[in-house]
Structure 1
Amino acid sequence: MVRMKDRDVDLTPPEEVASVAEKGLALRRKYKRGGTNVGVARARDLKGRKSLSPQTIKRMVNFFDRQEIHKQDRNFGNEDDPSPEYVGWLLWGGDPGREWAERKKAELFAPPARH
């Protein structure tokens, strides 16, 4: 839980995000491709449902913005022969991770509520 000026923000990844990261780790082990050391570390934190920092949330959003283009690649989403980019995407929590990080970033960096 991170205390912002006027609110608390829970930065614990939800189960669905943890599950996708775990799948990314499994595919990386099986096919020996995809992701970087940073992506593997992120997947381990997500899988373990460790509370993340606001800076990490920003990094997640930036990662997904940069990697969106690869969703068009051949074998992106193919579980039987996954592209390295697909494995990397999953390591960061996949689509659920992206949606969650974007929501959290909005919560964290939204202007304070007016009363």
Structure 2
Amino acid sequence: MPNEHKPTKKMADNAQKGIDLRDKFNRGGTDVGVKRARQIIDGGPMSDEDVKSMHSYFARHDVDKDAKSHDWGDEENPSAGYIAWLLWGGEEGKTWADRQREKIGD
């Protein structure tokens, strides 16, 4: 039977913040990111495949923190990358996905 992984409240709070900022500034994230945010906000459970997808997303997008068009974490004028990062659960999402990914193995 496949594993089920439950996202944390902090991840859900970050995902909701991402949705709110995306609505306010009309940027950041894709439909996939919005779908992931809703999944996190709803409390999962998340499959091994979801965890692998999140782990890959964070690995690919860590470089977005270096963008110069907006300051990372600025909620008055957030970068699209910051909003997208929040949709996937933010820093807590990255830590969680890394930890869950280790449990899955290959």
Q: TM-score range by the shorter chain?
A: over 0.9
Structure showing the higher helix proportion among its residues:
2
Question: Which digits, 9 at most, give the CA deviation of each residue in 1:78-114, with x for residues without a partner?
Answer: 110001111000000011000001101111117xxxx
Matched position secondary structure for 2:46: coil
- The answer for the alignment partner of 2:84 in structure 1 is 88
Instruction: State the identity as a percent.
Output: 38
Q: Tell me if 1:68 matches 2:62.
A: yes
Cα shift at 1:10: 4.7
Amino acid at match of 1:70: D
1:20-59 alignment runs, 5 A limit: 20-59=14-53
2:75 aligns to what?
79
Q: Secondary structure at the match of 1:13?
A: coil
Partner Cα separation in structure 2 for residue 84 and residue 25 of structure 1: 12
Q: Which has the larger radius of gyration?
A: 1
Q: Deviations over 1:13-70 (max 9, x none)?
A: 0111111001000000110100000000000000111111101100101000110001
Q: CA RMSD in A?
A: 1.3
Matched pairs, number:
104
Q: Structure 2, unaligned stretches of length 5 or more?
A: none
Which runs of 4 or more aligned residues in structure 1 lie more than 3 Å from their structure 2 counterparts after TM superposition?
none
SS for the counterpart of 1:50 is: coil
**One-letter code aligned to 1:24:** G
TM-score scaled by length of structure 1: 0.85
Write the letter of the residue equivalent to 1:26. Answer: D
Segments of 5+ residues of structure 1 without an aligned counterpart are 111-115
